[in-house]
Homo-oligomer: A and B are copies of this chain.
C-alpha cells in the first residue's frame, strides 16, 4: 500500500524505449537526461537505426544505465533453417547487448508451430539451452519473459511465470532467468508464489497497467496507475524476492506514443513515484 513503503526510488527507474516509440536512441537518451531518468531499456530496431557504435557512445556519454536490450527470442519455427536463423539472430542480439553494456537480453520466446504447443515449447527450451554458452562467454543473461496468454499463438508459448521458472530450473544456469512484466502476469492465481520461487533469478521488472476495458491486448497497455494492477504490491513482492535492479516502464499504446515524449516521461516519472 502507498504510505507503508517508501517506494523504489528514482535510481531504479528505467525508460523502456518503446514507451516513447517515435524517438530515436539519441532522442530517448536526451529525454531521459532531461527527465532525470537514470536508466534506459533499448530496442534492437532502434539501436540498428542509429547504429550500434553510436548508440553505445550516446548512452555512455549520458551516463545512463542500460537495463536491458529488447528483444531476443522468437525461437519457434516450422523447419531447421528457421530455427538456425533464429539462433544466429539471437547471437547477434547477445553481441549487441554486450556492446551496450547491459547484463540482460529480454526474450520473447515465439508463438505456436503448426498447432503443437508441446513442440513449440520444446523448441524454446532447446534454443535457450543452445544459446547459454555464448551468452556466458559474452557476459549477458537471458531473461525469459512470460507473455500474457492472449499472445500464445503468435508471440510466446511461454505464458506464465511458473512455466518460465520451470524452464529456468531445467536450464540450471546462472545465465538464464526471468523478466517479470506486470501486464503479462497480473491475472495469474499463482503469481505471488511464483515470484517467491523466482528469487535469485529475476533479471528484470517491467511496469505498465491493464485498463478496465481492454478490447485490444497488444496495444491496450495503460500508463502506470491508470489501470487495475496492484503495482506496489507486485513491486514489494519482487523486492522481497531479492530483486534490486532497474524497473522499466514499458507501454505499448498508440495514444501514449502520439503524445510529446517529454510529457510522457514527466508523467511516468510522477506515476512511478506514486504507484510503483
Which residues of A does B touch, CB under 8 Å?
112, 115-117, 121, 148-150, 152-154, 157, 159-160, 162-163, 166, 186-189, 210-218, 228-230
Contact = CB atoms under 8 A, between A and B. Distances in A.
A228 to B, nearest CB: 5
A189 B121 contact: yes
Contact of A228 (B115, B210, B214, B230): B115
- Complex A-B, nearest 6 residue pairs according to Cβ-Cβ distance, in ascending order: A152-B187, A149-B187, A163-B189, A150-B150, A149-B149, A115-B228
A115 B153 CA distance: 28
Does more than half of chain A's interface fall in helix, strand or loop, or is it mixed? loop
B112 A228 contact: yes
Contacts of A218: 215
A112 B153 CA distance: 26
Nearest to A150: B150
How many identical chains are in the complex? 2
Contact of A154 (B117, B153, B154, B212): B212
A213 B150 contact: no
Contacts of A188: 149, 159
A92 to B, nearest CB: 27
Given A117-B230, A121-B189, 18 more contacts: A112-B228, A115-B228, A115-B230, A117-B186, A149-B187, A150-B217, A152-B210, A153-B211, A153-B212, A154-B213, A157-B187, A159-B187, A159-B189, A160-B189, A162-B189, A163-B189, A215-B216, A215-B218
Contacts of A160: 189
A161 B40 CA distance: 38
A216 B159 CA distance: 18
A97 to B, nearest CB: 28
Given A160-B189, A228-B115, A230-B116, A150 B153 contact: no
A220 to B, nearest CB: 10
A210 B154 CA distance: 11
Contacts of A211: 153
Contacts of A212: 153-154
Nearest to A116: B230
